Structure 1
Amino acid sequence: MVSQVILVMAEYSVEDSPLWFRLSNDKIGLADAGELGLSAGLRRDLEVWNDVFDAIAGSGFHFSSPEIHDHHRAEAFDLAARVQDELGDETHVWCGAGEGVDLFPNLSDSLVVAADSRGTSVEQYTGGRARSITTASAGGRERTARAIIRWRALTERAGSPFGNAQTRSDGLRAAGALQRDIGALSQVIFFGGAGSPSDYLHHFGLE
């Protein structure tokens, strides 16, 4: 059973806690990294990552180069995987490349990496409309496609679509690999293995 859902999302002036509770009526808003019990090393790395976002506040939150933006997006998944590793099975960590996901599915262009999709497929959302495309069609490399296939197989053994903390961590890293491959083409999103927040709510009977 899930006790908390946490989204990794950069925000101005949150220091080592770019972490946000989701899908809860009693845990709302900022999730304090210290209160969660995250290690000092991970808290430091979360703060360094969020400092990059803080530093562009004066520019209207425009990154100085596409390369820096791409790296920041991909690194969000690495950090999210580490948060998942440290918080364990009862915590589900989401990541949308370090950006918000509240407007999903009405984001400009996004790719959802879900456990129940077949083969190397990912769900592409454009203007609220979805279609399944292969990882290669999305711009992903062969090794990324293999990582997604491996993650789905492990998740199925552990209990799809959410698996356990280890499989969700693997899924976050696979999603991060896809984000690295495609750069600014799309925002990759990982909802703990689900296809959408509504699927998540339906699975746990929280609707």
Structure 2
Amino acid sequence: MVSQVILVMAEYSVEDSPPWFRLSNDKIGLADAGELGLSAGLRRDLEVWNDVFDAIAGSGFRFPSAEIHDHHRAEAFDLAARVQDELGDETHVWCGAGEGVDLFPNLSDSLVVAADSRGTSVEQYTGGRARSITTASAGGRERTARAIIRWRALTERAGSPFGDAQTRFDGLRAAEALQRDIGALSQVTFFGGARSPGDYLHHYGLE
């Protein structure tokens, strides 16, 4: 059973590392990275990553270049995977390319990497509506498609809809690869392997 859901999201005026509690009745808002037990190296890297976002607060959150923005979005998944690795099986880590997910599925354009999708497909949400498209159609490369297929096979083998810490680590890495492939075309989102927060809640009877 999952004990907590952590979202890796950038925010300005945050003094410490930027993990956030989600779907918890007794824990709300910013999670203390030290109290979570994250290593000093990971806490430092999270803080450096968040500082990039904090530094553009005065510019209307416009990144200096598209390349820096693309890298920041992809790096969110790398950091989220490391958080998942350190926190283990009872924690599920979510990531929306460093952005918030509270408005999902009404984001302008989002690609969800879900464990129960078929083949190389990902779920494309546009204006709140979803459709399944192939990784290639989304702009992903062949090696990214292979990573998604491998992750899904490992998740199924783990015997749980959302796998274990290792498979969710692999899922976040696959999401990172897709985000790097597509750049600013869309926001990749990972809900621990679920298609949406609602599907996640339904599975655990938390609706």
TM range (shorter): over 0.9
Match in the other structure for 1:70: 70
In 2, the alpha carbon distance for the partners of 1:147 and 1:91 equals 22
SS of the counterpart of 1:190? Answer: strand
Shift of 1:16: 3.3
> For the aligned residues, what is the CA RMSD?
0.7
Shift of 1:25: 1.1
In 2, the alpha carbon distance for the partners of 1:83 and 1:111 equals 21
In 1, the alpha carbon distance for the partners of 2:92 and 2:17 equals 16
Match in the other structure for 1:136: 136
Shift of 1:17: 1.9
In 1, the alpha carbon distance for the partners of 2:89 and 2:18 equals 21
Q: Which runs of 5+ in 1 are unaligned?
A: none
SS of the counterpart of 2:16? Answer: coil
For the 8 Å contact 1:10–1:99, the answer to whether it is kept is yes
Shift of 1:161: 2.1
Shift of 1:14: 1.5
SS of the counterpart of 1:202? Answer: helix
Q: Which runs of 5+ in 2 are unaligned?
A: none
In 2, the alpha carbon distance for the partners of 1:149 and 1:42 equals 28
In 2, the alpha carbon distance for the partners of 1:156 and 1:60 equals 43
In 1, the alpha carbon distance for the partners of 2:186 and 2:13 equals 26
Matched, 1:28 2:28: yes
In 1, the alpha carbon distance for the partners of 2:135 and 2:163 equals 21
In 1, the alpha carbon distance for the partners of 2:16 and 2:176 equals 20
Shift of 1:38: 0.3
Shift of 1:58: 1.0
In 2, the alpha carbon distance for the partners of 1:159 and 1:54 equals 40
Match in the other structure for 2:79: 79
TM-score normalized by structure 2?
0.99
Q: Deviations over 1:165-204 (max 9, x none)?
A: 0000000000000000000000000000000001111100
SS of the counterpart of 2:191? Answer: coil
Shift of 1:159: 2.2
For the 8 Å contact 2:17–2:44, the answer to whether it is kept is no
Q: Deviations over 1:129-161 (max 9, x none)?
A: 100000000000000000000000000000242
For the 8 Å contact 1:38–1:86, the answer to whether it is kept is yes
In 1, the alpha carbon distance for the partners of 2:59 and 2:14 equals 18
Q: Deviations over 1:100-145 (max 9, x none)?
A: 0100000000000000000000000000110000000000000000
Shift of 1:88: 0.2
Matched, 1:189 2:182: no
For the 8 Å contact 1:96–1:187, the answer to whether it is kept is yes
In 2, the alpha carbon distance for the partners of 1:57 and 1:165 equals 34
TM-score normalized by structure 1?
0.99
For the 8 Å contact 1:110–1:124, the answer to whether it is kept is yes
For the 8 Å contact 1:115–1:160, the answer to whether it is kept is no
Count of residues in correspondence between the two structures: 207
In 2, the alpha carbon distance for the partners of 1:161 and 1:190 equals 14
In 2, the alpha carbon distance for the partners of 1:123 and 1:7 equals 20
SS of the counterpart of 1:161? Answer: coil
SS of the counterpart of 1:14? Answer: coil
